[in-house]
């Protein structure tokens, strides 16, 4: 993780945005993080986590009251039969090898890459967010917005 953080910081400096952005690797159990963030992002990872509800609770407590959580997840429909296309089949294969085992290794719910909007919404609502919507999508990803 330190290597990635160093790359992010170097790129932010190159882009001239170091006044506006900071990068940290923190545990969801770290009580030292404040609640003054405007935006928290999850990039293709919530479905992999051992405790996705806990991660979302941490995000919620870390946001300003008017803050936003952006969640990018693989393109997935709620029904299995609606995922039986080229993208869905590819994501099921990756999910079997990476996503599900990663979550199970932490005694997680094994949502997998094909969790679907209904399951992601359940996680977000269980964490205490009151607003959830599909903001946009691409052929490969769905971008959700959650607000406290």
Q: What's the Cα-to-Cα distance from 146 to each of 64, 66, 75, rounded to whole Å?
A: 12, 11, 17
User: In whole angstroms, what is the distance from residue 49 CA to residue 38 CA?
Assistant: 23
pTM (2 d.p.)? 0.84
CATH number where 41 lies: 3.40.50.150
20 within a domain of the structure (yes/no): no
14 within a domain of the structure (yes/no): no
pLDDT per residue as tens digits for the range 23-71: 877 776 677 777 888 999 999 999 999 999 999 999 999 999 999 999 9
60 within a domain of the structure (yes/no): yes
88 within a domain of the structure (yes/no): yes
What's the domain range around 95? 37-147
User: In whole angstroms, what is the distance from residue 41 CA to residue 131 CA?
Assistant: 16
8 within a domain of the structure (yes/no): no
> What is the number of structural domains in the chain?
1
68 within a domain of the structure (yes/no): yes
Cβ-contact 50, 123 below 8 angstroms: no
9 within a domain of the structure (yes/no): no
- End-to-end CA distance of the chain, in Å? 28
pLDDT per residue as tens digits for the range 74-89: 999 999 999 999 999 9
User: In whole angstroms, what is the distance from residue 17 CA to residue 21 CA?
Assistant: 6
19 within a domain of the structure (yes/no): no
């Amino acid at each position: 993780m330190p290597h990635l953080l160093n790359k992010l910081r170097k790129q932010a400096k190159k882009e001239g945005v170091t006044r506006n952005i900071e990068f940290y690797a923190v545990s969801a159990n770290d009580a030292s993080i404040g609640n003054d963030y405007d935006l928290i992002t999850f990039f293709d990872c919530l479905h992999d986590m051992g405790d996705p509800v806990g991660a979302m609770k941490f995000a919620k407590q870390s946001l300003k009251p008017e803050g936003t959580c952006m969640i990018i997840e693989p393109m997935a429909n709620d029904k299995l039969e609606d995922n039986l296309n080229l993208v869905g089949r590819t994501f099921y294969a990756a999910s079997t090898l990476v996503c599900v085992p990663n979550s199970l290794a932490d005694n997680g719910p094994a949502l997998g890459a094909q969790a679907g909007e209904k399951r992601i919404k359940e996680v977000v609502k269980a964490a205490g967010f009151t607003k959830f919507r599909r903001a946009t999508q691409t052929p490969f990803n769905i971008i959700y917005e959650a607000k406290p």
